[in-house]
């Protein structure tokens, strides 16, 4: 991670201009305070100084001495700074400091201070994690930070769009392995729009059949078995490998009333779960979240 | 010659005084700005940074129009607290197609530079219309009109892309010709969502670690 320092001609340009400016400042300060006395009194004050309003004269005595010490201090500081830190063209400074390196070293400290905790979490079984109140509070915090914007602060889902994570229904499976896969890889569910191919009447039939799933003689049953069963199963229990939800229970992500079901059938649904890579959730955080969610 | 006699000379000669003032006030710019304007490494787009598509560009204009940058920054500083919260810190090369950049200077809401891909399109749609539907404690105002206005009415997309091409954004003729049809049927909220989803995705995966 090399900082974007100027190179070649422009590096020299910066160095020369900076040094010339500093040298000029030193010369001005020194000559104001330590100029030979003759040029001050004879030349300056007597011969040439204008006098306004009979007695108002422009004096040439040097500013207070504490200004001198302040200016000298500032000059010494800036020289020291330019030697230690990047500033003079492509010269990186004796400390070899950069923002990027500072970040790397703070990450090293960070990793070091959390390594033991992470190793401990990695070595603990899920059921033990679930029994550990302090760690489950950590899991709650991670959940609120990373998951609550969609699934709600309590994890019960919201907006008829983001599933409840605290119930027993898991569209993509609720085993620790399946939850990990969902988190790391993300999920893309794809429910096609059916009205175009089924037509208005059959769409209504299926929607009604879904509300009366136990009615084996229902008009929508054949339509269901021909079109929907491939993903949702003949018995309607769904398929966690396709993310096809269980239609035989009372959990309806997009709403379980006839209008919502019709809307789903007409326009289709494309549920999406974003992926959480290592950078968003490290292995220990991931395990804590899984411990919180898995039953 | 001492600085005092030089001072006298300058004070008595207006032309010299003007020149001196200009010279001194230019030094900061000559040292800090001029070399940066000539630094190619700052103009090199990062690996996945592409010029904004017609839809994203429209979304960006809506982002500007609604003043999102008043409350949201788009610059992640190289500090561990920011990198942990938002993701890899911002690189100069990610902003080469931002004219003007939307870095912002105040965070009333969170930084948005790495918001792309964090939430789904559906989430953004709901959240933009009424943020409290999904984040009950949010103080962000809702922007319901974005869902009611056509994206194609936000300025002249062809003129915008043509102007940006003159400034060096590598748009092809085909892209500009297709711009209007790209926006067809889209609402402003779709364009803004597309822009938000592309934000911060221009970084090489190697660097992102």
Is there a single domain that holds both residue A226 and residue A168?
Answer: no
Task: Verify that A125 and A211 share a domain, yes or no.
Answer: no
Asked if residue A77 is part of any domain, the answer here is yes
Residues A6 and A89 in one domain: yes
Closest partner CB to A10 (pick from B4, B38, B123) = B38
Best residue of A103, A182, A254, A270 to probe chain B, by most B CBs closer than 10 Å: A103
State the residue for tokens 């964090």: B118
In sequence order, the 6+-apart residues with CB closer than 8 A to the CB of B52 are B60, B97, B195, B198
Whether residue A176 lies inside any domain: the answer is yes
B1 pLDDT above the threshold of 80:
no
Which of B38, B40, B42, B78 is the best residue to mutate to test the A interface, defined by the most A CB atoms within 10 Å of its own CB?
A: B78
- Round to the nearest angstrom and report the end-to-end CA distance of chain A: 44
Do residues A86 and A166 share a domain? no
Distance CA A135, CA A253 (A): 30
Q: What confidence category does residue A33 fall into, taking pLDDT thresholds of 50, 70 and 90?
A: confident
Mean pLDDT of B92-111: 94
> Chain B interface, mutation test: which of A158, A160, A186, most B Cβ atoms within 10 Å?
A158
Q: Residue B81: is its pLDDT beyond 60?
A: yes
Whether residues A180 and A67 fall in one domain: no
Beta bridge partners of A56: A52
pLDDT > 80? residue A268:
yes
What pairing do the DSSP bridges indicate for beta strands A56-57 and A187-188? unpaired
Query: Is the pLDDT assigned to residue A48 strictly greater than 70?
Result: no
A31 touches chain B (CB under 8 A): yes
Nearest residue to B36 via CA among A227, A14, A270, A121: A14
User: Cα distance from A273 to chain B (closest Cα, Å)?
Assistant: 7
State the alpha helices, DSSP H only, in A62-123. Answer: 65-84, 99-123
Give the tens place of pLDDT for each residue, A51-96. Answer: 778 878 766 677 889 999 999 999 999 999 999 999 898 888 999 9
- pLDDT at B161 > cutoff 70: yes
At residue B206, the pLDDT reads: 61
Nearest-by-Cβ selection for B42 from A4, A18, A31 = A4
Same domain? For A154 and A210 the reply is no
Residue A40 falls inside a structural domain = no
Only one residue has tokens 């175009």, namely A196
Looking at the structure, do residues A212 and A229 belong to the same domain, yes or no? yes
Q: What is the mean pLDDT of residues A180-191?
A: 93
Q: What pLDDT shows up at residue A1?
A: 39
**Whether the predicted interface score ipTM is above 0.85:** no
H or E element that contains A137:
helix A133-146
CB of A253 less than 8 A from some CB of B: no
The length of chain B is 209
Report chain A residues whose CB lies below 8 A from the CB of B142.
none
pLDDT at position A43: 45
In a domain, A106, yes or no: no
Say if CB B96 and CB B45 are below 8 A apart: yes
Structure tokens at B50: 């592409």
Residue contact B134–A273, C-beta within 8 A: no
d(CA B203, CA B44): 12
What predicted TM-score, i.e. pTM, was given to this entire model?
0.86
Rg (CA), chain A: 37
Q: Chain B residue with minimal CA distance to A152?
A: B134
Residues 6+ apart with CB under 8 A from A258: A207, A208, A211
Work out the minimum CA distance from A221 to partner chain B, whole angstroms: 32
Residue labelled with tokens 């891909």: B117
What does the pLDDT read at residue A31?
84
**Residue A73 and residue A156 in one domain:** no
Which CATH number do you get for residue A214? Answer: 1.10.760.10
Do A263 and A280 lie in one domain? The reply is no
DSSP characters over B97-131:
T-SS----S--SS---TT-TTTS-HHHHHHHHH-G
Using alpha carbons, select from A190, A188, A192 the residue that is nearest to residue A206: A192
Domain-located, residue A234: yes
C-beta atoms of B80 and A39 within 8 A: no
Contact (Cβ atoms closer than 8 angstroms) between residue A122 and residue A283: yes
Instruction: Give yes or no for residue A274 having a pLDDT over 90.
Output: yes
Q: What is the DSSP letter of B13?
A: -
What crossing angle do the helices spanning B188-198 and B54-65 adopt, rounded to 10°?
100
Q: Which domain holds residue A163?
A: 112-188+275-293
Contacts of A35 in chain B (CB under 8 A): 2-4
- Kindly state the tokens that stand for A132: 């550990």
Whether residues A13 and A123 share a domain: the answer is: no
Q: Do the chains contact at A10 and B8, CB–CB below 8 Å?
A: no
Q: Which of B8, B88, B119 sits opposite A48 (nearest CB)?
A: B8
Contact B131, B142 (CB under 8 A): yes
The crossing angle, in degrees rounded to 10, of helices A8-34 and B14-32 is: 140
Tell me if A14 and B36 make a contact (CB, 8 A cut-off).
no
- Both A178 and A279 in a single domain? yes
Averaged pLDDT for residues A158-183: 91
- Note whether residue A229 is domain-resident: yes
Residue B186 C-beta-side C-alpha neighbours within 13 Å: 23
Domain membership of residue A179 (yes or no) is: yes
Nearest to residue B124, comparing CAs of B57, B40, B199, B174? B199
Q: How many domains does chain A have?
A: 3
At A57 the pLDDT is 74
- Residue A93 within any structural domain of the chain: yes
Residues A281 and A184 occupy one common structural domain: yes
Q: CA-CA distance, A222 to A229, in Å (whole number)?
A: 10
In total, the C-beta contacts within 8 angstroms joining chain A to chain B are 95
Chain A's closest residue to B92, CA to CA, is: A4
- Cα–Cα distance between A3 and A95 in angstroms, integer? 14
User: Which H/E stretch holds residue A23?
Assistant: helix A8-34
Asked if pLDDT for residue B99 goes beyond 60, the answer is yes
CA distance B70 to B105: 8
Query: pLDDT-based confidence at B72, cuts 50/70/90?
Result: very high
DSSP string, B41-95: GGTSPPTT--PPPHHHHHHHHHHHHTTHHHH------SSHHHHHHH-SPP-GGGG
């Amino acid at each position: 991670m090399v900082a974007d320092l100027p190179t070649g001609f422009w590096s020299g340009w910066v160095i020369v201009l900076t040094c010339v400016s500093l040298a000029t400042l030193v010369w001005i300060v020194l000559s104001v305070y330590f100029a030979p006395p003759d040029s001050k009194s004879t030349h300056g004050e007597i011969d040439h100084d204008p006098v306004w309003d009979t007695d108002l004269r422009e004096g040439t005595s040097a500013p207070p001495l504490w200004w001198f010490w302040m200016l000298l201090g500032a000059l010494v500081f800036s020289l020291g700074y330019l030697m230690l830190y990047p500033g003079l063209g492509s010269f990186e400074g004796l400390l070899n400091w950069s923002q990027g390196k500072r970040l790397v070293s703070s990450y090293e400290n960070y990793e070091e201070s959390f390594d033991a905790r992470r190793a401990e979490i990695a070595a603990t079984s899920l059921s033990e994690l679930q029994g550990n109140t302090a760690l489950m509070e950590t899991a709650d915090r991670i959940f609120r930070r990373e998951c609550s914007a969609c699934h709600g602060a309590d994890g019960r889902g919201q907006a008829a769009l983001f599933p409840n994570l605290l119930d027993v229904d898991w569209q993509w499976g609720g085993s620790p392995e399946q939850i990990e896969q969902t988190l790391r890889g993300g999920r893309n569910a794809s429910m096609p729009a059916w009205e175009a191919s089924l037509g208005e009447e059959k769409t209504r039939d299926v929607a009604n059949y879904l509300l009366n799933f136990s009615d084996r003689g229902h008009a929508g049953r054949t339509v269901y078995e021909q079109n929907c069963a491939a993903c949702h199963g003949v018995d309607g229990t769904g398929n966690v490998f396709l993310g096809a939800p269980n239609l035989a229970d009372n959990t309806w992500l997009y709403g379980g009333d006839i209008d919502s079901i019709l809307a789903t059938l007409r326009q289709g649904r494309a549920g999406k779960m974003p992926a959480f890579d290592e950078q968003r959730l490290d292995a220990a955080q991931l395990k804590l979240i899984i411990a919180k969610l898995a039953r | 010659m001492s600085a005092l006699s030089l001072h006298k000379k300058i004070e008595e000669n207006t032309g010299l005084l003007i020149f001196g003032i200009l010279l001194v006030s230019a030094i900061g710019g000559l040292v800090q700005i001029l070399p940066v304007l000539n630094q190619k490494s700052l103009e090199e787009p990062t690996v996945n940074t592409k010029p904004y598509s017609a839809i994203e560009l429209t979304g960006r204009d809506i982002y500007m129009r609604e003043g999102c940058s008043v409350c949201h920054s788009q610059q992640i500083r190289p500090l561990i607290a920011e990198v942990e919260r938002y993701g890899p810190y911002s690189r100069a090369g990610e902003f080469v197609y931002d004219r003007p950049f939307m870095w912002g200077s105040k965070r009333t809401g969170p930084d948005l530079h790495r918001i792309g891909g964090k939430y789904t399109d559906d989430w953004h749609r709901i959240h933009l219309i009424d943020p409290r539907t999904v984040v009950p404690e949010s103080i962000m105002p809702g922007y319901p009109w974005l869902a009611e206005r056509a994206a194609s009415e936000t300025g002249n997309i062809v003129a915008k892309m043509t102007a940006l091409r003159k400034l060096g954004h590598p748009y092809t003729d085909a892209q500009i010709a297709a711009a209007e049809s790209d926006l067809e049927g889209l609402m402003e909220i779709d364009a803004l969502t597309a822009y938000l989803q592309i934000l911060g995705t221009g970084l090489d995966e190697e660097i992102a670690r």
